[in-house]
Amino acid sequence: NHLYHIKLVIADRLDSLFDSTVFIEAGGFAAGPPQCNDQIQLISFIDFNNNGLKDNNEVNFNFGTFIVEKNNNGIQDFVTTPSGTHFVYDNSSLNTYDFSYAINNEFLPFYSLQNTSFNDLNISLGSGTQVLYFPVNLTQSYNDLSVAIIPLSDPRPGFEFANKIIYKNLGITQTSGNLNFLKDIKTSIVSCSESGVLINPTGFIFNFTNLQPYETRTFNVIMSVPISPAVNLNEILTSNANINGTGTDFDLTNNATSNAQIVVASYDPNDKIEQHGGKILITNFSSNDYLTYTIRFQNTGTASAINVILEDLLTNQFDENSIRMISSSHDYILERIGNKLTWKFNFINLVSILQDFNLSQGFVTFKAKLKPGFNVGTIVPNMAKIYFDYNPAIETNTFNSEFVSVLANMSFNESNFIIYPNPASKFVQVNLQNAIENIQHISVNDVLGKLVKQFNNLSTKQATIDVSELEKGIYLLEITTENNLKKIKKLIIE
């Protein structure tokens, strides 16, 4: 039941540049050896009518983890897939398996799991496909939008780089809304793959419609970096994004994201980065916050890679139970045993860089929380190993994240504030970029100094305020940070 490829490989033993492959045929076996036909399939799904059966209108559920234990050895394998289904193969009927399922903690207020587990099952010769269902019940309605920025490439002076914008409807109702992107002030937007994007001097606004429950949409943003000395090596370039929709969002922490990228001199096809950019302000990070990593890989060989495996051994600084996938370039199976993460891209058929540069690349992005105990000076290292077929591992760089009390290259001044749109009629976005402060309060005053509206306890670098009730005219926005620093900006309501 897997796709096969037959290729003739022509190799020059003295010079690999002349190696090539000739594609002959591809196809699939409807039947095959017993180990291909005999399997256990795990399916988690939302049981809308609570009958314990997966009906045609019921969708798979992927906000959780399959738990697999083999031969009652006490070692639990936590398996995550983007599809809500997982296959287990074994050519020995002597091996037994226990299966269960766990819903991610953040979704427990809205879903409940029927008491379903399976113990001491085996895969015997001729047993075919044994399907095990894990029904999940929806207990209450909710809304939840999320947005993420995936760094597809690194910024280099004089070159372009790409970010992928991923926005999701994690809730259960169709929704529409807007997505705001704020670029670094030193970069310029070259293009967006989404035709509806409205580019402005500070970034862009994108209005989306009819985002279905559990739907994910993506598009790419290409930005250019000026040459030195306008931008220097090791400088941090930061992009921000936030998303707003109809209804009350139960989790506002995933409605905004920030991605800090280090300006580099050269391209590394297999690397690892973290979205804070290496330095984390201790006052802006708590045990409820995440470190978000992206592992990027590229097939630089001369032929396609049939399988790719990524391995990441987390240090004991991480809470391994908090690991959540954000996105990936290809379908994957994520297995976690203890603090070891393994992504399997089976039959990915990743083409060679010689065939297609873009199609030879892949990535995974995930996030994880730290255990309590980090302080100023704490360094969190992380690296990964990448396997292309049966070749030796390629080790990525070790990315070190250090907690600091002050971000030395940042200051607070009026240019750090960006207000858009201005003039405005309904909503105004206030952004504070490249500063160690957070916006705490925003006051709207008329030209005589009279307070007409106030927004308190914001604690964010991005705030969207509703000005639809204001009459046309000129107003003054007084923006106050957490450390009581204040700036005033003029706002026009039309």
Residue 21 included in any domain: no
Residue 52 included in any domain: yes
DSSP per-residue letters across 253-297? GGSEEEEEEE--SS--SSEEEETTTTEEEGGG--TT-EEEEEEEE
Where among 117, 138, 159 does a domain terminate?
138
CATH number at residue 157: 2.60.40.740
CA atoms within 13 A on the CB side of 372: 0
State how far Cα 288 lies from the chain centre: 17
Q: What are phi and psi of 422, to 5 degrees?
A: -150, 105
308/343 same-domain check: yes
Min mean pLDDT across 27-36, 122-131, 364-373 is at: 27-36
Residue 398 included in any domain: yes
Residue 14 included in any domain: no
Secondary element (H or E) of residue 37: helix 34-37
Q: Is the pLDDT of residue 409 over 50?
A: no
Cα three-residue angle 354-190-148, rounded to 5 degrees = 80
Residue 470 included in any domain: yes
DSSP per-residue letters across 188-234? EEEEES-TT-EEETTEEEEEEEEE-TT-EEEEEEEEE-PPTTTS-TT
Q: Is the pLDDT of residue 412 over 60?
A: no
pLDDT attached to residue 375? 94
Pairing of strands 216-224, 160-169: antiparallel
460/328 same-domain check: no
CATH number at residue 462: 2.60.40.1930
Q: Is the pLDDT of residue 331 over 90?
A: yes
Which among 288, 214, 204 has a CA at the least distance from the CA of 242? 204
CA atoms within 13 A on the CB side of 168: 16
Tell me the pLDDT band of 449, cut-offs 50, 70 and 90. Answer: confident
Residue 349 included in any domain: yes
134/199 same-domain check: no
Average confidence score pLDDT of the chain: 89
Cα 133 from Cα 61, distance rounded (Å):
11
Q: Is the pLDDT of residue 77 over 90?
A: yes
Q: CA torsion 313→315→317→321, rounded to 10°?
A: 20
278/180 same-domain check: yes
pLDDT attached to residue 152? 96
pTM greater than the 0.85 cutoff: no
118/224 same-domain check: no
Q: Could you tell me the two tokens for 135?
A: 């029904």
92/214 same-domain check: no
Residue 28 included in any domain: no
pLDDT attached to residue 415? 59
422/400 same-domain check: no
453/353 same-domain check: no
Residue 473 included in any domain: yes
101/162 same-domain check: no
Where among 138, 164, 182 does a domain terminate?
138
Coil/strand/helix, residue 358: coil
Q: Is the pLDDT of residue 285 over 60?
A: yes
CB within 8 A of 248, min separation 6: which ones?
A: 143
Where among 138, 163, 178 does a domain terminate?
138
Q: Could you tell me the two tokens for 148?
A: 């993420």
pLDDT attached to residue 31? 45
* Domain encompassing residue 326: 145-404
Count of structural domains, the chain:
3
227/246 same-domain check: yes
pLDDT attached to residue 434? 63
299/204 same-domain check: yes
Higher pLDDT, 22 or 140: 140
CATH number at residue 82: 2.60.40.10
235/284 same-domain check: yes
pLDDT attached to residue 27? 66
Higher pLDDT, 210 or 283: 210
% residues pLDDT > 70 (the chain): 91
